[in-house]
């Protein structure tokens, strides 16, 4: 159980490394776009596979998210990656909950759902 918690904390830190890497000028645009998608999905309450489905519901959190994070981290230059990891280590961002990002993501999902439902109801 301790190993799982340690792994989860490491993945959470890597998400914040992606956030810091997005701010860095040496990171290519396509890597920034990929990392934005992964960060948004990680913090989003909406999942690709709904959590209420037994076993399969947690596959995205257990397999897909860490796999996507490690893929994008490999695309970031090593010197930038170490610099971003150091920033995350020094900061207390990992211990804080980022309510602002969560609220923005929820509002985006509400807007998208509203747009989709209004599109289909007006036909």
Q: 90-116: per-residue pLDDT in tens?
A: 886 445 556 777 788 889 989 999 998
Does residue 35 form part of some domain?
yes
Does residue 25 form part of some domain?
yes
Instruction: Please state the domain count of the chain.
Output: 1
Does residue 112 form part of some domain?
no
Does residue 114 form part of some domain?
no
Does residue 22 form part of some domain?
yes
For 11-38, the pLDDT digits (tens) are 888 988 999 999 999 999 999 999 998 8
| 53 phi and psi angles, rounded to 5 deg | -80, 120
Does residue 116 form part of some domain?
no
Does residue 102 form part of some domain?
no
Task: Name 6's Cβ contacts closer than 8 Å, sequence gap at least 6.
Answer: none
Q: Which domain holds residue 48?
A: 2-96
User: To 5 degrees, how large is the angle CA 51–CA 94–CA 20?
Assistant: 100
75 with 31: CB under 8 angstroms? yes
Q: What is the DSSP string of 39-71?
A: HHHHH-S--SS-TTSTTGGGHIIIIIHHHHHHH
Does residue 73 form part of some domain?
yes
Q: What is the pTM of this model?
A: 0.64
């Amino acid at each position: 159980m301790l190993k799982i918690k340690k792994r989860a904390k490491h993945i959470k830190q890597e998400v914040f490394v992606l956030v810091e890497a997005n701010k860095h000028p040496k990171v290519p645009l396509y890597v920034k776009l990929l990392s934005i998608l992964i960060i948004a999905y990680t913090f989003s309450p909406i999942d690709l596979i709904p959590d209420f489905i037994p076993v399969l519901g947690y596959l995205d959190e257990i397999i897909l998210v860490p796999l996507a994070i490690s893929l994008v981290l490999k695309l970031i230059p090593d010197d930038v990656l170490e610099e971003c990891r150091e920033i995350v280590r020094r900061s207390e961002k990992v211990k804080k909950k980022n309510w602002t990002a969560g609220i923005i993501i929820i509002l985006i999902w509400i807007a998208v759902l509203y747009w989709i439902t209004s599109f289909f109801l007006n036909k």
